[in-house]
Structure 1
Amino acid sequence: MQYKKGLRGYIAGQTSICELNEKTKRITYRGRDIETLAGKVPFEEVAYLLLGSRHASWFELNEFKIRVCTSFCSFGLGKWEKVAETLAALPPEAHSMELLRHIINAFAMYDDRRKPQDEAHDREIAIDLVGLMIYFVALVQRHKEGLSPLLIIPSDKGSLAANIFYLLGKKPSPLEVEVMDVLFTLYAEHEFNGSTFGGVRMAATLDTDIYSGMINGVGNLKGLRHGGANEATWGLIQSFADVVDVEDYLLKKIGETLEQKAGWKMPGFGHAVYKTGDARVPIIKDYIYRLSREKKNMIYFDICCKIEQAMLKAHRLYPLKKYPSFRWWFPNIDFWAAPVYYLMGIPHYLNTPLFAASRIAGWAAHWIECKYELKEKLIRPRAKYIGPKPQT
């Protein structure tokens, strides 16, 4: 049996949901390029596409949009009070993703539909979760800030992107709503990443319930080498605020590290699939520029540009053939998304929970595909044993 670290280069399964083409740097959802989706259609339509595998008519999309935007109202006050009681027992200083995981688990315990039944049953829960996740994120914020867990019901005439701000107690500009919507689209799905394959699809083959699969996804997304990189990246960007010459500082740091033959990895740079760039970066970078202009705050946009330019120069100075440990020279979406939340006045501890709220559509689509459409076999790889030899 063959073995390769990180299963790099191995095809672990089939999917019709998302294609990542690292050669052309194209990402497609059900055959539609993200460049034709992000900023062109609302996130609700993207979620419908991922879950429904076909284009929505105006009536279907409007019905779906109302459903997800009012999902909070579909469950009695008693259930939300029980969720609030569970949350109240948790320490506010806990990591936001741990709080989010407990909220989903508490909600699942009081949902009579939690037991596995059939595809239609799981699809209904999936649609509800697309809308409910922003409420769960708002509960995280309110708990960490010592506020009442009771939430105001937003209007069904809004959108998920607009309702996020509403639930967080903010009045967004039209551009802020548009940027949030675009971020949700860009983060909605990304093939067999760690949370989708290792968390959701693995669980789907074990015949557990859909909530368990989504909670697995949240747990994996917390990792610093996955969604948690978003928060780490913001810390990095902030650390450069007082650096006079970003390029000089970075080049010296990289040079010293490589000469010592130590591995170099910077949060927000590189990717396990892409080798030359992330197709999502040019899209969000344009929106960050516009948002920075609107806020009259170009500081962090300028810092990000300087870091990006310095890493590109370092790539030329330290070629991969001579310095194989320095392969992560291009920014990924986490690098450029990190300052967005800051510019919109959203606490940094909600960066990863908001990532989860957008990715729930992709996770649910993979759950349905793996469990019902492909009827995948139990995922059970083998291990290469490297321990001591059997004693005689």
Structure 2
Amino acid sequence: MSYLSPGEAAREIHRLSRLCQENNKIEPELYDQYKVKKGLREANGKGVLTGLTEISTIYGTKEVNGEIQPIDGELYYRGIDINKLVEGFSSEGRFGYEETVYLLIFGKLPNEEELDEFTKLLAYNRMLPDEFVPDVILKSPNKDIMNAMARSILTLNSYDKNSDDLAISNVLRQSIWLISTVPMIAAYSYLAYRHYMTGRGLYIHNPKPEFSTAENLLRIMRQNKTFTPLEAKILDIALVLHAEHGGGNNSTFTTHVVTSSGTDTYSSVAASLCSLKGPKHGGANIKVKNMFDEIKKNVKDWKNDDEIAEYLLKILRKEAFDKSGLIYGIGHAIYTKSDPRAEILEKYTMLLAEEKDRMEEADLYHRVARLAPELMKNERKMYKPVCPNIDFYSGFVYNMLGIPDEFITPLFAIARVAGWSAHRIEELICTNKIIRPAYMSVAKETDYISLSDR
């Protein structure tokens, strides 16, 4: 037997791809016949109930006289309204991500002493093992920063003598280590890619123990290590808003599924991160940014609603942008009339746009946010209202902060490690049963045919 040539191998893959598609078709009507909830969602869009949680609560509708009615979105972290949480630490001139992590994991707000000790604990855990950066991150640069992060997180397992211990004290130790180090892993992974794959200069800055997570990220990502107070404040708020969003979102449900198998913390977080990178989930924020780049190129008058609407219709009709028919950043699985995270971020987006002299772009975002829901409703005959979600503004915010496109989705992951950690601990304490839903086989039985007779 001889090896195939590259051309022969490519043709064989093409042939097998057609065969694969021909023999993996399930008739759509069978899903209705057997009452299969595709995507674990009911026909009205509501998620199938698969678990209980106390970590966060999300409302996009309410029941009135037996009917489901859209409402302005509500989000609670451990029972605290997200608006009140953000207003609380902002009004006191403090960063909020660290106390949000504490709230999510321990179920209560820390007092001043507890917050100080916890912040010091995060700072203590922020440094990576000796030689980890040169040996693991710099030697294997990857243009896909999320995949680079997943590899590094899995590699941390080999530095942990108790990696498989599922005692809550040990899982908590591992979770705090990951919450602290993942921002560093992400930043250094990007800087390695930037240097080795795009030919730009390499700089590695160590975190400062007295800095918050947001401040350290800006310090490490920038060659001059400088940032304004408003920049750090807005990045901190973005991390808070991305830290958690219920147990049913794809990556957090992954946390529950993988944790239920009894696997280690590093595998659990890496799996959730790989789920988050998908463009239908956390990867949507870079899609929004890229979509707006196309809108800016193709809409000549950014103040002309008719011209903007015309291009949005082209996107909906699969004639423009990525031909998916999606206006990214508009619509959410739960929120209907509004996404509270988007409304909070929008307010700070305007402050940053003013500081950066980018109000013209900010106005374009406002116009698309106003026009897109109605266009989608009319074009798609949608049964419920849609609104801008947090991804709609986050890409613009990060762009104004000088965050490169490759680092936008990793920032989401950095924040969400807190929520994943809280859910992993909750799953281990409360359930301790492997998640194993049913799949019904609809394959027809057939006889085995010997090779010579096929």
Q: TM-score normalised to the size of structure 1?
A: 0.90
Tell me if 1:113 matches 2:169. no
Structure 2 CA distance for partners of 1:360 and 1:316, relative to 1, 3 Å: closer
Q: Secondary structure at the match of 2:58?
A: strand
Query: What is the identity, as a one-letter code, of the residue corresponding to 1:16?
Result: E
Q: Do residues 195 (structure 1) and 251 (structure 2) align?
A: yes
Query: Given the superposition, is the C-alpha separation of residues 11 and 237 from structure 1 closer, same or farther in structure 2, using an over 3 Å criterion?
Result: same
Is 244-253 or 36-45 further displaced after alignment? 244-253
Instruction: Identify which of 13, 17, 25 aligns with 2:55.
Output: 17
In structure 2, how many angstroms separate the alpha carbons of the residues matched to 1:183 and 1:84?
A: 30
Question: Which residue of structure 1 lines up, in the alignment, with residue 428 of structure 2?
Answer: 371
Please show how residues 1-392 of structure 1 align to structure 2 within 5 Å: 2-8=35-41, 9-23=47-61, 24=71, 25-41=73-89, 42-73=96-127, 76-77=129-130, 81-92=131-142, 94-146=143-195, 151-169=204-222, 170-191=225-246, 192-197=248-253, 199-242=254-297, 243-245=299-301, 247-253=305-311, 255=313, 264-315=325-376, 317-318=378-379, 323-324=381-382, 329-372=386-429, 374-387=430-443, 389-391=444-446
Measured after TM superposition, the shift of residue 331 of structure 1 is 1.2
Q: What are the superposed Cα offsets for residues 60-106 of structure 1, whole Å, 9 maximum, x if unpaired?
A: 11011111123234x542xxx145323334244x2111111112112
Aligned-pair distance for 1:330? 2.0
Distance between the aligned counterparts of 1:255 and 1:235, measured in 2?
17
Shift of 1:383: 1.2
Task: For residue 117 of structure 1, report the CA deviation from its aligned partner.
Answer: 3.4
TM-score (norm 2): 0.78
Structure 2 vs 1, CA of residues 145 and 39 (structure 1 numbering), >3 Å: closer, same or farther? farther
Mapped to 2, the partners of 1:174 and 1:327 lie a distance apart of: 40
Range 106-115 or range 332-341, more displaced? 106-115
Q: How far apart are residue 378 of structure 1 and its match?
A: 0.8
Whole-Å separation in 2 of the counterparts to 1:150 and 1:255: 44
Distance 1:260 1:220, change over 3 A: closer
Cα distance change on mapping 1:263 and 1:386 into 2, 3 Å = farther
TM superposition shift of 1:224:
0.5
Change (3 A) 1:256 1:188: closer
- Cα distance change, pair 283–139 in 1 and its aligned pair in 2 (3 A): same
* CA 1:16–1:260: 2 relative to 1, 3 Å: closer
Where structure 2 has 5 or more consecutive residues not aligned to the other structure, the ranges are 1-33, 42-46, 62-70, 90-95, 448-454
CA distance in 2, matches of 1:129, 1:47: 12
Structure 1 gaps of 5+ residues are none
Partner-residue secondary structure (3-state), 2:340: coil
Question: SS of the counterpart of 2:337?
Answer: coil
CA distance in 2, matches of 1:258, 1:220: 26
Q: How many residue pairs align between the two structures?
A: 380
User: Secondary structure of 2:76's match?
Assistant: strand
**Identical-residue share of aligned pairs (%):** 29
Q: Distance in 2 between matches of 1:254 and 1:344?
A: 27
- State the structure with more CA Rg: 2
Do 2:335 and 2:386's aligned partners in 1 also have CA atoms closer than 8 Å?
no
Deviations 1:12-57 (A, max 9, x none): 1000001111124110011011101225321100000001112212
Is the Cα–Cα contact under 8 Å of residues 270 and 330 in structure 1 kept in the other structure?
yes
- Preserved contact between residue 39 and residue 182 of structure 1 (Cα < 8 Å): no
2-side partners of 1:140 and 1:98: how far apart?
Answer: 10
In 2: Cα distance, 1:363 partner to 1:346 partner: 24
- Tell me if structure 2 keeps the 8 A contact 1:70–1:154: no
